[in-house]
Amino acid sequence: MERTGFIFDLDGVIVDTAKYHYLAWKKLANQLGFDFTEEQNEQFKGVSRRRCLEILLEMGNVEVPKQQFEDWLVEKNTDYLGYIETMNESEILPDVPKVLKYLKQEDIAMALGSASKNARPILEKVNLLSYFDAIVDGNEVTKAKPDPEVFLKAAEMLDASPENCVVFEDAVAGIEAANAAGMLTVGIGDAEILSQATYNFKDFTEIDLEFIKQLTNS
Ligand code: BG6
Ligand code: MG
């Protein structure tokens, strides 16, 4: 049988860091004199830090010199790092360990496929780094989601062909990227927003191991 690869996004799938990204962007927006809502934050999920800032400035109609742009990028990340500094295992999303442990026990290849440049330190903080056979993050890709690069790289590192990979994602851009890579997709979150996913679940508490087992055979 062909080798199955399981690829997980990080923010909003494994840990609830989407809220920290949101708080850090909101703080910057407020400082620049405009508001930033949770609904607007949906557009930021799966999107690189640089692109997020471009979108934020478009939302606020703010024009900015190049150096100031770079400074704001640093400022946002510094705020974000402040939020994640104290993270621990309690911030792993419910029932995620159940799935990771099962896959590990079955010796199924697992990779992380994230747009974040902070992925490794976060995995270390929540003690999950050892589960992953490969990590592809924002430091390793040249084209951001919805480009399939991040997931194709992860599949290659797992030695699995894309059609035998399953991707867990909470972002529209991420589902698009995985679909473009020819992989099965599991949308975590609002099924209406993630309507392009092969399967949809609100969160991991809705996923039973029988479903995961079936995916490993597909
Ligand atoms: C993604 C998040 O995982 O990582 C985005 O969904 C975020 O919201 C992106 O902008 C980049 O993260 P970081 O940690 O490199 O700023
Ligand atoms: Mg995400």
pLDDT digits (tens, 9 = 90+) for 152-191: 999 999 999 999 999 999 999 999 999 999 999 999 999 9
What is residue 112's predicted lDDT score, i.e. its pLDDT? 98
Nearest to 181 by CA among 214, 141, 213: 141
- Among 21, 81, 85, 120, say which to mutate for ligand 1: greatest number of ligand atoms within 8 Å of CB: 21
- Among 28, 49, 114, 167, say which to mutate for ligand 1: greatest number of ligand atoms within 8 Å of CB: 49
What is the CB neighbour count within 10 angstroms for residue 171?
27
Q: Is 9 a catalytic residue?
A: yes
Catalytic-labelled residue, pool 11, 35, 95, 147: 11
Q: Who surrounds ion ligand 2 at CB < 5 A? A: 9, 11-12, 170-171
Tell me, what CATH number does 52's domain have? 1.10.150.240
Contact 195, 172 (CB under 8 A): no
Q: 3-state class of 160 per DSSP?
A: coil
Same domain, 59 and 163: no
Same domain, 103 and 177: yes
Residue at 136: amino acid letter: V
b/e map 193-202, b = 16+ CB within 10 Å: bbeebebbbe
Number of domains in the chain: 2
Same domain, 98 and 70: no
Same domain, 26 and 42: yes
What is residue 218's predicted lDDT score, i.e. its pLDDT? 63
Whose structure tokens read 């099924």? Answer: 191
Strand partners, 202: none
Q: 3-state class of 5 per DSSP?
A: strand
What is residue 3's predicted lDDT score, i.e. its pLDDT? 76
Same domain, 108 and 121: yes
What is residue 217's predicted lDDT score, i.e. its pLDDT? 76
The reported pTM is: 0.95
Tell me which residue range forms the domain holding 43: 18-84
Residues with CB under 6 A from ligand 1: 10-11, 21, 44-49, 52, 77, 114-118, 138, 171
Same domain, 103 and 152: yes
Last residue of a domain, one of 62, 84, 106: 84
User: Residue 157 has which token pair?
Assistant: 């590192």
What is residue 2's predicted lDDT score, i.e. its pLDDT? 78
Distance CA 72, CA 6 (A): 35
Tell me, what CATH number does 117's domain have? 3.40.50.1000
What is residue 1's predicted lDDT score, i.e. its pLDDT? 61
Whose structure tokens read 């951001």? Answer: 144
Same domain, 158 and 170: yes
Same domain, 72 and 30: yes
Same domain, 104 and 212: yes
Last residue of a domain, one of 41, 56, 84: 84
Same domain, 66 and 12: no
Same domain, 212 and 112: yes
Last residue of a domain, one of 69, 84, 99: 84
CB half-sphere exposure, 140, CA atoms < 13 A: 18
79 burial class (0-12, 13-18, 19+ CB within 10 angstroms)?
Answer: middle
Same domain, 119 and 165: yes
User: Residue 72 has which token pair?
Assistant: 């704001």
Residues of the chain with pLDDT under 70: 1, 218
